[in-house]
Amino acid sequence: MRSALLVTMCAGMFLVQLDVTVVNVALPAIGAGLHAGLAAQQWVVDGYSVVLAAFLLTGGALGDVFGHRRVVLAGFGLFGAASAVCGLASSAPWLVAARAGQGLGAALLLPGTLAVITNAYPRPAERARALGIWAGVSALALSAGPVLGGAVVSAAGWRPVFWLNVPVVVAAAVATRWLVPGGDRVRGRRVDVAGVATAVPALGAGVYAVIGGSVVAGVVAIALLAAFLVVERRSPDPMLPLDVARRTASPNFVAASMNFVGIGAILVLTLYLQGVRHASALAAGLAVLPLFGPLSVLAPVAGRLTGRFGPRPLMAAGLALGALGMLNLVLLNGNSGYAALLPTLLGLGVGMGLLTTAVVTAAVGGIPPERAGVASGINNTARQAGGALGVAVLGALVGEPGGGFLAGLHEVGWVAGALWLVALGVTLMAVRTS
């Protein structure tokens, strides 16, 4: 029974992650079909990621208040409906709005799936193995996305990329209704409306400031972030409990850094392969398999190793390898072939494969079961916010494919490599060993 439940919850994670890499490979086709420039293409990615990150804490709290099964079912329904609307979009603003709807559905799904798994596997070692499977499915979705998206785009255009979600949503929702037990509400929990009202525009303004180069938006983002922290400090039932945030600050910083580099690099590498090397969507999807292949293979193995040795050794090794891989971008020039890109793809893939499960385990381990929804929401918020900012920042560094793209690519290598080395230092100094 628990195995079937684990598979069903993994289906929710699969959908959430699949729509990250599927869309990246489809961006050039979307841009051509909807006459959308780089900024609009970035918002097709970040319209999803920003809303997902902004509402994840709310999704975790809603699961605690109303029960995770009910909230997961609502997430499946919203995600499926928004996916269908994405496939019908006739303009870039329409598509971005529908992607935001997907992000809201994913925000209900993601913390709920992790909380259900955490509650179903209470023992630390078996929980680490279950999270390894969960992370492995996540990695499989990231791996399948470029190839599946490239094949679909090459054969039928970009719209069916979104329609493929609908039958998976229906099957997963039916399984959730039958397999996931109800009655998992946490008594006394309430939804932090004031926190939502400040967190959502704070993150949105921050991403807009980077993509649009708006100083005003940056100031607004900082002011709203300060307001959010004040609200959370005073709230009797905050969606970001500051005691939990402090206890998990180090692994969640690493989680944010992981996705900042990983998700941002996927966009940059897609632009490089299709815009600079002129690869087709399918060829670009196949070209990034050395990144996603190790990620898929290593995530379940890393779960078992984390259960045995604790999260810190895996996190340290992953960050070191990934940093070296990103620094390799500095060596690329106009005459570099695909072989010169392989160290980056392999370093990032192996690094994230070692990191993913260990980071989640470090963030949720030691948290009481009644706070599982909130703890998983904080971790996933850190990851998704990091990914949204990574798309904005790294995309802004490289700009449109053209004469200055390689110089921007070198800057991406320096920034990403340095960030992961900082995260390595945080891991060695502040992340627990078991």
Rg (CA), the chain: 20
The confidence score (pLDDT) of residue 271 equals 84
The confidence score (pLDDT) of residue 189 equals 63
The confidence score (pLDDT) of residue 373 equals 58
Which residue reads 């959308």 in tokens? 36
The confidence score (pLDDT) of residue 330 equals 93
Superfamily of domain 2-182+239-430 in CATH is MFS general substrate transporter like domains (1.20.1250.20)
The confidence score (pLDDT) of residue 105 equals 92
* CA 415, chain centre distance (Å): 19
Reported as type and span, the H/E element at residue 412 is helix 405-430
| Helix 249-271 / helix 311-327 crossing angle, nearest 10 deg | 30
Listed residue (305, 322, 310, 325) closest to 251, CA to CA: 310
Distance CA 44, CA 336 (A): 30
Distance CA 61, CA 298 (A): 31
The confidence score (pLDDT) of residue 1 equals 63
Find out whether 324 and 414 touch, Cβ atoms under 8 Å: no
Find out whether 324 and 418 touch, Cβ atoms under 8 Å: no
Find out whether 388 and 53 touch, Cβ atoms under 8 Å: yes
Cβ neighbors of 260 (< 8 A, separation 6 or more) are 386, 387, 389, 390, 393, 416, 419
- State which residues of the chain have pLDDT below 70: 1, 135, 139, 142-143, 182-190, 365-374, 377, 432-434
Domain ranges of the chain: 2-182+239-430, 192-238
pLDDT tens digits, one per residue of 309-322: 888 889 999 999 99
pLDDT tens digits, one per residue of 151-168: 888 888 889 888 888 888
Which residue reads 């959430």 in tokens? 16
b/e per residue, 340-352, with b = 16+ CB within 10 A?
ebebbbbbbbbbb
For 362, what's the count of Cα atoms within 13 Å in the CB-facing half-sphere?
A: 31
The confidence score (pLDDT) of residue 187 equals 61
Phi-psi region at 213: left, alpha or beta (left = phi > 0; alpha = psi -120 to 50): left
Cβ count near 293 (within 10 Å): 17
Find out whether 284 and 150 touch, Cβ atoms under 8 Å: yes
Find out whether 261 and 390 touch, Cβ atoms under 8 Å: yes
Map residue 262 onto helix, strand or coil. Answer: helix
pLDDT tens digits, one per residue of 204-226: 788 778 777 778 888 998 999 89
Residue 180 to residues 176, 213, 243: CA-CA distances in angstroms?
5, 45, 29
